[in-house]
Amino acid sequence: MWILLASLAFADPEDGRYESVLSGDEIGAVIDAAIEEGAQQYSFAVRWIVRSRLQGIRDWCTSYDIVRTGDQWSHSCDGKPPTTGTIGADAVSIERKDKSTLTFTLRQADGRDVTAKFMGEEGGGRQQTYKFKGDHLLLDVMVISDQLDPPVAWTLRYDLKK
């Protein structure tokens, strides 16, 4: 019992499962709107290429399991195996299902907020900033590419499940 009480006393305030306030379809609509806004910077003839390349990001997480112990960070999307790392450490390589490689870095943002950056071999990637506001998580996402200026961006809200 003392171990349980001690672990609760030292648990970071952002630890837990966060569930989206939106359904999967509603998340898709938010991302579709962000993709469409990003595509508007291109000529009509190029927009369909931009849309097709960004459609892979449309299926987004409806929940995150987050664990933080000091500078060790772990987050898992929809129960999938977690991505873990050390905040402030050098980039770590992650092999994807298609055998391509991503580099993954974690940085401390404002207060307890954390920014995770995933960059692909061709220089494109995404940056996710986890902003903790009480029992809520605001997730700011930016899709980064040399061809996207400004980047495609959106924000989603998740609530801590109790």
Within 13 A of 41's CA, how many CA atoms are on the CB side?
A: 11
Residues 123, 110: Cα–Cα separation, whole Å: 26
Query: In DSSP terms, which residues pair with 140 in a beta bridge?
Result: 129, 155
Query: What DSSP element (H or E) covers 4?
Result: helix 2-10
pLDDT tens for the chain, 162 residues long, are 333 333 334 456 689 999 999 999 999 999 999 999 988 888 888 888 888 888 878 789 999 999 999 999 999 999 999 999 999 999 988 887 788 888 999 999 888 899 999 998 777 899 999 999 999 999 999 999 888 888 899 999 999 997
Domain covering 2-160 in this structure, CATH number: 2.40.128.20
Cα first-last separation, the chain: 20
